[in-house]
Amino acid sequence: MIELEKEDEIPIVKLDNPPLNAICTELLDSLEKTLDLLEDDEGIKVVIIEGVGKAFVAGADISEMKDMSPEEAEEFSKKGQELFNKIENFPVPVIAAVDGYALGGGMELAMACDMIVASDRSVFGQPEVGLGIIPGYGGTQRLPRIVGHKKAKELIFTGKKIDAEEAYEIGLINKLVDTENFTDEVMELSKTISKNGPLAVKYAKEAINEVSHLDKGFDKEVEMFKRCFETQDQKIGMDAFLNKKEPEFKGK
């Protein structure tokens, strides 16, 4: 259910569960194993997650969920939350490349990534209330942080789908690109990030992720800022800037 490709220092994780890459236990397990494998690869700089076919992920596998007991549903929700938290806290930036449907758990997966690049044919939504349930993979928590409480309530309470243009306007996605240029735009963003100091990017991600805990966030930023100055990369980067040359970061 997972295909893994690599371009330079950028692995591309492809979700492949036809016809619409629905989230099921098997897909979650496969994705977790893939991330564990990548986490041990110190050479990677950015991870891209995309869907095969006309969907990123068009929701959870309803056939698997339909007859779940409350206890089974609880475990299914926890499993997804833990995996998506792993993505949110992954040591390198993770980009969701959305070309098509990102609904329900698919939108929750995209929101767990650090950035979302979407093609102009993409569609987003949290339609769970139409099934008599709520988003269970962190959607009730991440969506308000991204688009604000009022807009998040509108999207979750109505279950409506929005196109990529509206998703861009409300700040849900970072980049909106033509379908024809989609792959190139995703790779260009990834390579731009990968040229920077890998430890600096890692520490910046850790600090930014503390923003929802403002009492600790500023302390975390100071700590990560300090740690940058304990690395060779800080010295390489600043030296290169002062001497007007391209830095060659070591990741140390």
pLDDT digits (tens, 9 = 90+) for 87-122: 999 999 999 999 999 999 999 999 999 999 999 999
Q: Would you state the pLDDT for residue 53? A: 93
Determine, yes or no, domain membership for 248. Answer: no
* Whether residue 170 sits in one domain with residue 231: no
- Residue 224 pLDDT grade (very low, low, confident, very high; cuts 50, 70, 90): confident
Nearby residues of 203 by Cβ (< 8 Å), 6 or more positions away: 224, 225, 227, 228
Nearby residues of 12 by Cβ (< 8 Å), 6 or more positions away: 4, 5, 6, 48, 50
| Per-residue pLDDT at 217 exceeds 90 | no
* Whether residue 161 sits in one domain with residue 40: yes
Q: Would you state the pLDDT for residue 5? A: 94
Task: Look at residues 104, 110, 147, 106 and name the one whose alpha carbon lies nearest to residue 127.
Answer: 104
Burial-class residue 116 by CB neighbours within 10 Å (0-12, 13-18, 19+). Answer: buried
pLDDT, tens only, 35-85: 999 998 989 999 999 999 999 999 888 888 888 888 888 888 889 999 999
More confident position, 7 or 189: 189
**Average pLDDT value for residue range 11-38:** 96
* Whether residue 203 sits in one domain with residue 97: no
Helix H or strand E encompassing 65? helix 62-65
Helices (H) and strands (E) in the chain, counts: 11, 10
Place of tokens 């030296």: 239
Q: Which of 1-15, 117-131, 202-216, 230-244 has the lowest mean pLDDT?
A: 202-216
* Whether residue 228 sits in one domain with residue 162: no
Nearby residues of 194 by Cβ (< 8 Å), 6 or more positions away: 8, 9, 10, 45, 46
Domain that holds residue 229: 198-242
Q: Would you state the pLDDT for residue 182? A: 95
* Whether residue 209 sits in one domain with residue 159: no
* Whether residue 223 sits in one domain with residue 183: no
Q: What CATH number does residue 45 fall under?
A: 3.90.226.10
| Per-residue pLDDT at 252 exceeds 60 | yes
pLDDT, tens only, 28-46: 999 999 999 999 898 999 9
**How wide is the angle at C-alpha 252 spanned by C-alphas 49 and 33, nearest 5°?**
30
Coil vs helix vs strand at 47: strand
| Per-residue pLDDT at 214 exceeds 60 | no
Task: Look at residues 105, 121, 113, 114 and name the one whose alpha carbon lies nearest to residue 164.
Answer: 121
Q: Would you state the pLDDT for residue 186? A: 97
* Whether residue 205 sits in one domain with residue 161: no
* Whether residue 101 sits in one domain with residue 14: yes
Task: Look at residues 12, 199, 171, 210 and name the one whose alpha carbon lies nearest to residue 92.
Answer: 199
Determine, yes or no, domain membership for 228. Answer: yes
Place of tokens 């050479």: 43
- Residue 215 pLDDT grade (very low, low, confident, very high; cuts 50, 70, 90): low
**Average pLDDT value for residue range 140-151:** 93
Tokens of 194: 């990968």
* Whether residue 203 sits in one domain with residue 179: no
Task: Look at residues 183, 178, 181, 176 and name the one whose alpha carbon lies nearest to residue 7.
Answer: 183
Determine, yes or no, domain membership for 252. Answer: no
| Per-residue pLDDT at 230 exceeds 60 | yes
- How many structural domains is the chain composed of? 2
Q: Would you state the pLDDT for residue 38? A: 96
Determine, yes or no, domain membership for 231. Answer: yes
> What gap in Å lies between CA 164 and CA 9, rounded to an integer?
29
Q: What CATH number does residue 216 fall under?
A: 1.10.12
- Catalytic positions: 108, 128
Q: Would you state the pLDDT for residue 141? A: 87
Q: Would you state the pLDDT for residue 19? A: 93
Determine, yes or no, domain membership for 130. Answer: yes
> What gap in Å lies between CA 49 and CA 158, rounded to an integer?
28
* Whether residue 141 sits in one domain with residue 71: yes
Determine, yes or no, domain membership for 247. Answer: no
Determine, yes or no, domain membership for 249. Answer: no
Nearby residues of 147 by Cβ (< 8 Å), 6 or more positions away: 155, 170, 171, 172
Nearby residues of 170 by Cβ (< 8 Å), 6 or more positions away: 147, 151, 162
Q: Would you state the pLDDT for residue 109? A: 98
- Residue 242 pLDDT grade (very low, low, confident, very high; cuts 50, 70, 90): confident
* Whether residue 130 sits in one domain with residue 50: yes
> What gap in Å lies between CA 81 and CA 94, rounded to an integer?
16
pTM over 0.75: yes
* Whether residue 212 sits in one domain with residue 100: no
More confident position, 68 or 222: 68
More confident position, 214 or 125: 125
Determine, yes or no, domain membership for 37. Answer: yes
